[in-house]
Structure 1
Amino acid sequence: MESETVLVFDGSFPGFLCALGDALNILSKNHPLPRFEESGKDCAPGLFSIRLKARRDEARAVRVWKRIESKAGEKAMIECRDAFLSDAPMRFQALGHAMARLYREGPRALDDWADPSMALVAKACLRTRHQAHLATGILRFSELAGGTWYAPLDTDCDVLPLLGNHFSSRFPQSPFVIHDTRRGCAILHDPGARWTIAPGFHIEDSSLYLSAREDAIRDAWRRYFGAVSIEARENPALQAAHMPKKYWKYLPEMNFGQAHGILNPCEDPSWKALVSSNSPRPPD
């Protein structure tokens, strides 16, 4: 029985591209496509599997991207990137197969939805983009005491790379943070500078203090929301159908018990003091 090669990467898109580069080299020797596996995940090793670690190398990831892009085109590559950011369980293997085909056959391969891998990539890409589109409408920014605007976010797909350009062009003169609380990373934007994604982002100490203006607006909005509500016609099920409950925790009108002046735990309202990493990296 022929052994199976498993390429283990760090879970990032640059790491996946490095693993894909190894996979293309393996395919060039007429071996089957390796299996892709994220490090740290509980995956049962096969009896005859050979596990190889794909080391993340930013420069190499760029070279692999350009190598495939020269055959597939930018549009197809962006679609694969967005599919990678989804939460589809089998996306890594499907992307490995899809991007290998794109390298061999060009962009037309992505339209072959009869291929289950191509169909999965298209569906995963659509899911990520749909969630990013929803986030542009549901995201709530709060003005902190230091003048920074802070917006927490919790989505099934990793949508931060798709939000940076939208919000930086919409609020070019505002310092803001979009915090993905599930993945522990955040978009950081300062006026006049390009936005970046900071990994390992966490809130320190005990409170994020709202500005006095923000606190007053929140209080007025909650009172308005309560005043226009007709108790006899309340329908929580219908409300949840229009606005799923998973989005409620970051909506001021749904958090009547929130303490005045405090948003979430943190002492210093400046985003520069909130980033655990001293050198935020550009978006993957």
Structure 2
Amino acid sequence: MMNHGPRIFSYENSFDGLLCAFAAAEGEGLERCGFQSEGSGRPGLWPPTSVPVHAGTAAQFLERLRRAGGEGTVLHVMYVFLAEIRGAEPPLYEFARLTMQTGKIVLGMRTNAAVRRVMDWKSKVGKEAHRMTGLLRFMELQDGTLYARFEPDHNVLPLVTPHFQRRFPHENWVIHDQRRGLAIAWDGKKLHPVVGVPGNVDDLLSRREISFQRLWQEYVQAMAVPERHNPRLQRRFMPSRYWKHLVEQTV
């Protein structure tokens, strides 16, 4: 008998696409299988089964997951998707399938490898999102818009925007994930995706912003105590990969 190899489901690189792929695998009763996002550049030995995106299928799968494991379980699945970790789909599928099979929350099953990995990934994404709410630096542009840029390890842009909607509800602002080429703007009423953010926003800074940055840098230099300079301690509280977007670190 010919060996057709493991089942691999190819899905559109979106949250709905991933849920549809999980629904297709779960509908066939598969305990373990492979998943591959379209355009991921990960060709395998076995041709994948392409799964079309259907909003209704995704919503039904998510609701079944919510009924079985609660909102916390749904958040774990969403956070791991935003983690953008290569090879995360099989453990995440096993986590979702186990939840629906048992009909209860499985987050306490830390001895299960899939559950443990999903919880660890979710924690990393949550920690980075929380860190970014304190590290993002907004700059005033010439038209009065506030602009912030960052390059997070995970796709935390959807997770940080609600914080700044509450913090700056009456301002016009843009948060730009330069690593992924994604940006979201808030106009004081609703969010909008932004297409074509200028590459060099520094040329669009207001005079007040330029003056403020200069004063802030001078203040940081004046307050610094050379004898207490401790880069290792700095990296513990603020990883160096984030420094390039901090005004005080450009001096």
Shorter-chain TM-score above 0.5: yes
- Match for residue 6 of structure 2? 4
Which position in structure 1 is the counterpart of 2:40? 41
1:23 to 18, 22, 25: 25
Say if 2:247 is the partner of 1:252: yes
Is this contact kept in 2: 1:153–1:179, CA < 8 A?
A: yes
Please identify runs of 4+ aligned residues in structure 1 that moved more than 6 A.
Answer: none
**How big is the shift at 1:91?**
1.6
State the match for 1:282 in structure 2: none
Q: 1:117 to 1:206 in 2, by over 3 A?
A: closer
Partner of 1:188: helix, strand, or coil?
strand
Q: How many residues align?
A: 248
- AA aligned opposite 1:204: P
Q: Please say if 1:92 is aligned against 2:67.
A: no
TM-score (norm 2): 0.89
User: Secondary structure, in 3 states, of the residue corresponding to 1:107?
Assistant: coil
Deviation for aligned residue 1:128: 0.5
How far is the alpha carbon of 1:205 from its aligned partner?
A: 6.4
1:140 Cα deviation from its structure 2 partner: 0.6
AA matched with 2:62: W
Identity of aligned residues (%): 29
SS of aligned partner of 2:218: helix
| TM-score after normalising by structure 1 | 0.80
State the structure with bigger RCO (CA 8 A, min sep 6), 1 or 2: 1
Q: Distance in 2 between matches of 1:179 and 1:107?
A: 38
Return closer, same or farther for 1:112/1:237 CA change in 2, 3 Å cut-off.
closer
Residue 178 of structure 1 pairs with residue 171 of structure 2: no
Residues 72, 103 of structure 1: 8 Å contact kept: yes
More moved, 124-133 vs 73-82: 73-82
Counterpart Cα distance in 1 of 2:62 and 2:43: 30
Q: RMSD of the alignment, in Å?
A: 2.1
* Superposition pairs of residues 1-284 of structure 1, within 5 angstroms: 1=3, 3-27=5-29, 31-46=30-45, 49-193=46-190, 195-196=191-192, 198=193, 201-204=195-198, 207=201, 208-256=203-251
Contact kept in structure 1, 2:183 and 2:197, CA below 8 Å: no
Q: CA offset at residue 173 of structure 1?
A: 0.4
- Tell which deviates more after alignment, 247-256 or 129-138: 247-256
Distance 1:203 1:4, change over 3 A: same
8 Å CA contact retained: 2:12, 2:38: yes
Q: CA deviation at 1:231?
A: 3.9
Q: Is the 8 A contact 1:132 1:163 kept in 2?
A: yes
Distance, in Å, in 1 between the alignment partners of 2:105 and 2:225 is 55
8 Å Cα contact 1:3-1:50 kept in structure 2: no
- 1: CA distance between counterparts of 2:120 and 2:199? 40
More helix by share: 2
Task: Tell me the SS of whatever aligns to 1:164.
Answer: helix
Q: Displacement, 1:248? A: 1.0
- Any unmatched runs of 5+ in structure 2? none
Q: Determine if contact 1:26/1:33 at 8 Å carries over to the other structure.
A: no
